[in-house]
Amino acid sequence: MPAIELTSYTLTSALGAGLDATWAALQSKRSGLARRAWETVDLDTCIGEVEGLDDLPVPAPWQAFDCRNNRLALLALRQDGFEAAVHAAIARHGAHRVGVFLGTSTSGILSSELAYRERDAEGHLPAWLDYRHTHNTYSVADFVRHHFGLKGPAVVVSTACSSSAKVFANAQRMMRAGLIDAAVVGGVDSLCLTTLYGFTSLQLVAQAPCRPWDAARNGLSIGEAAGFALLEWSETPTPGAILLSGVGESSDGHHMSAPHPEGLGARLAMQGALDAAGLRPEDVDYIALHGTSTSANDAAEDKAVVGLFGAGTVPCSSLKGHTGHTLGAAGIVNAVVGALALTHGLAPAGVGTQQLDPTLSSRYLLDNLRLPLRHVLGNSFGFGGSNCSVLLSREVA
């Protein structure tokens, strides 16, 4: 039976550019969070910044797209042979048969923030601001489409922190409908002042690097990341191939900025992914949690995981201690790390956590765990109750 395979994937975050840097950091349990001077931010917090973006101009043909978010996208696209893989897919399928499905939360909003500093006496914004190609939510998909010369459908999903998980479902539906043969999926979200000060106003930002599942956790850390995966049909997946097994989506609409206290939407999304893949809870070998390190999120997600999988069963951890909360890119971070975990047979530990919260009952990893992995689940839960779980599997002989 044909399957959807991740034929190429890549990730860039505060851990570094590309898969090798990411995997090295996961193996050594290294965090990319640090206290940095960034723009005019005067907040007492740590961030997950990707270095070198200011020195990475967008090439001349796409100069209109020049902003931090698209620079971050470009840096990620240039890693791990991903550009070559997409060009090969175009040669196989045609530019009209490859879609682009990307998630972002704030897009290139930093461009408008910087422009507002330069308003004239009458309040006019500077002429250099190109809203359509930078701040606009569709900008990153438009940029990637132009970058590769693609002619297929291009979509941006912006459902807060579930954005780049839900793109897997969008691409999957279009591929199954026969509208496209391949898809570039992923997410990009870069640092901006609105995010940093906005989460601070909600009293959700920690001073020190965040500590998911910790008894003394007191908030999240903001990071930035860009990741991509190339999805293609595979008639006979080879052993070791990474497959998109199922995606589960839910919308509980509990609260604008707080999760359902019993994790209702989270559980529905995880169950939906299992149902789509035809798997049972005991088949899952590792869960990359949403795990934001806020008191409400971790408690709600723990209830959802324990309610579906049982207490202390499936190994799980949050990557937020490594990268910070990358918002609209959080889903692709979990997916790419899930693919790496499947490939290398290692469930990565969370970092930053010092003392597990005794009221939480999931099997949260404080040390890396080597074991043969067949199925991994990645959770991404956004504001407003927009939830998504992505299930990846490794083909075996």
Instruction: Give me the residues paired with residue 214 across strands.
Output: 356
Taking only Cα atoms into account, the Rg of the chain, rounded to an integer number of angstroms, comes to 20
Topology of the domain comprising 3-394: Peroxisomal Thiolase; Chain A, domain 1 (3.40.47)
Residue 120 — pLDDT band, cuts 50, 70, 90?
A: very high
Instruction: Rounding to the nearest 10 degrees, give the CA dihedral for residues 48, 51, 55, 59.
Output: -70
Kindly report the backbone phi and psi dihedral angles of residue 10, in degrees, each rounded to the nearest multiple of 5, phi listed first. -160, 160
**Structure tokens, 7:** 């034929």
Whether 136 has a pLDDT exceeding 80, the answer reads: yes
Question: Residue 40: its pLDDT value, please?
Answer: 80
Residues 232, 6: Cα–Cα separation, whole Å: 7
Question: Residue 163: its pLDDT value, please?
Answer: 98
Tell me what percent of the residues of the chain surpass a pLDDT of 70. Answer: 99
Q: Cα–Cα–Cα angle for 336, 160, 111, nearest 5°?
A: 95
Per-residue pLDDT of 8-49, as tens digits, reads: 999 999 999 999 999 999 999 999 999 988 888 889 999 999
Residue 217 — pLDDT band, cuts 50, 70, 90?
A: very high
Cα 274–chain centre separation: 20
Residue 384 — pLDDT band, cuts 50, 70, 90?
A: confident
Instruction: Give me the residues paired with residue 220 across strands.
Output: 205
Question: Residue 111: its pLDDT value, please?
Answer: 96
Hey, which residues are catalytic here? Answer: 161, 290, 325
Kindly report the backbone phi and psi dihedral angles of residue 146, in degrees, each rounded to the nearest multiple of 5, phi listed first. -65, -40
Question: Residue 91: its pLDDT value, please?
Answer: 98
Residues 92, 90: Cα–Cα separation, whole Å: 5
Q: In the chain, where are the structural domains located?
A: 3-394
Residue 397 — pLDDT band, cuts 50, 70, 90?
A: confident
Residues 391, 393: Cα–Cα separation, whole Å: 7
Residues 139, 154: Cα–Cα separation, whole Å: 11
Q: Give one DSSP letter per residue of 27-69, joined into a string.
A: HTT----B----TT---S--EEPPTTGGG-PPPGGGGGG-SHH
CB-CB contact of 144 with 332 (8 Å): no
Looking at residues 1-7, what average pLDDT do you find?
92
Question: Residue 361: its pLDDT value, please?
Answer: 98
Looking at residues 379-397, what average pLDDT do you find?
92
* 3-state secondary structure at position 104: coil
CB-CB contact of 188 with 333 (8 Å): no
**Structure tokens, 395:** 């083909």
CB-CB contact of 301 with 294 (8 Å): no
Question: Residue 304: its pLDDT value, please?
Answer: 97
Per-residue pLDDT of 250-296, as tens digits, reads: 998 877 767 788 889 999 999 999 999 999 999 999 999 999 999 99
Question: Residue 262: its pLDDT value, please?
Answer: 85
Per-residue pLDDT of 307-344, as tens digits, reads: 999 999 999 999 999 999 999 999 999 999 999 999 99
